[in-house]
Amino acid sequence: MAAESNTQTVSVLVKMLSGDLIPIEIPSDITVKQFYKIVWRAIPERCALQSLDLLRDGGDDTLPSTPMPLLPEQDEVFFAFIQTSHFILRLELVADAFHNGRLLQVFEVVIHESRPDSQESKTNPPSISPFSLPTDQDGRIVNLSYHYNTYRHLFYAATEQIDGEFVHTFYTDDEIDVFRRGRFGDEWEVEIPAEKQPLYDLTDLLADLPVSTRTLNLLQQHLRSEWDLFNQMSKGHPIQEIQLDEDDLQAVFQEDLADEGDDSALDDWA
């Protein structure tokens, strides 16, 4: 006979914008990331997991979808908000550039925002890349319209080896003068002002995006994953050895009910 679990349960309420209250019983030791999945399965609205934001009653900040403990209280109320935008991020290598003989690589971060609440251009949709699309609780692709915004951020990366470790320095493209040479303009000479400060972290590149805190955190996480993936590939590692646990977009934005480790124990709480 299997040993009985000693995990205690807590009853909480999830309040939708409509005013409907959804009672949910959850383990007392649940993480915030697990709580997102349980709420996502429980709410009647069909939506992508990335679209769900949860807040504590009386709190102003969205709960981050991380493995940190939720620490729920009995009969605690949480508020659920469903975003109408979906974001997809890609990191693209643009060119090599030189600054005083120092090699830099030029990258562009492209973020597509699709808004399904718009009726625009259904008969004449613009051409966009065939990115993976998010799915709802039933595994069906969330139908998106072709009305979208695109955010582009160019940055420069310098790499040097210090004590056997590769150290990366990142610069935004503002205040950098570019001189394109060569027959196809693919030979870049750049001038970086001596007083220009590098980014503290690559993810700071997205700090001014007009998105919610949780969406920003997810996009920054995805940018970091894309950068790590590029570095592993540039070192000659086969892509199958460094792939994220699913398609890189799905792993961050959908999470597809597949955390690191076994999630099957949560099925009883869905």
Which residues make beta-bridge pairs with 54?
80
Each residue's pLDDT tens digit, 199-246: 999 999 999 888 877 778 888 988 999 999 888 887 665 434 333 333
pLDDT at position 202 is 94
Task: Report, as an integer, the average pLDDT of 67-93.
Answer: 89
Alpha-carbon radius of gyration of the chain: 22
User: Can you give 82-129 as a three-state secondary structure string?
Assistant: ECCCEEEEEEEEEEEEEECCEEEEEEEEEEEEECCCCCCCCCCCCCCC
Report the range of poorest mean pLDDT among 20-29, 62-71, 111-120.
Answer: 111-120
- Say how far apart CA 174 and CA 94 lie, in whole Å: 16
**b/e per residue, 11-25, with b = 16+ CB within 10 A?**
ebebeeeeeeeeebe
Domains and their CATH numbers in the chain: 9-82 (3.10.20.90), 86-121+136-254 (no CATH)
Starting at the edge strand that comes first in sequence, how are the strands of the sheet with 21-27 ordered?
Answer: 21-27, 9-15, 77-82, 52-56
- According to DSSP, residue 175 is labeled T
Tokens 């993810």 -> residue: 203
Each residue's pLDDT tens digit, 245-264: 334 434 444 433 333 344 44
198 or 122: which leads in pLDDT: 198
- CB atoms near residue 86 (< 10 Å): 22
Average pLDDT of the chain is 77
Q: Do strands 86-99 and 21-27 pair parallel, antiparallel, or not at all (unpaired)?
A: unpaired
Is the per-residue pLDDT at 80 higher than 80?
Answer: yes
Task: Report, as an integer, the average pLDDT of 133-145.
Answer: 71
Torsion of CA 157, 215, 152, 187, to 10 degrees: 20
pLDDT at position 148 is 63
pLDDT at position 130 is 42
Read off the amino acid at residue 167.
V
107 or 145: which leads in pLDDT: 107
pLDDT at position 169 is 92
Task: Report, as an integer, the average pLDDT of 83-98.
Answer: 85
pTM over 0.95: no
pLDDT at position 245 is 35
Residues 6+ apart with CB under 8 A from 210: none
Residues 6+ apart with CB under 8 A from 249: 88, 89, 131, 132, 222
265 or 165: which leads in pLDDT: 165
Is the per-residue pLDDT at 92 higher than 80?
Answer: yes
Closest C-alpha to 255, from 33, 15, 1? 33
pLDDT at position 187 is 78
Task: Report, as an integer, the average pLDDT of 165-184.
Answer: 87
- Say how far apart CA 147 and CA 229 lie, in whole Å: 30
Task: Report, as an integer, the average pLDDT of 119-148.
Answer: 56
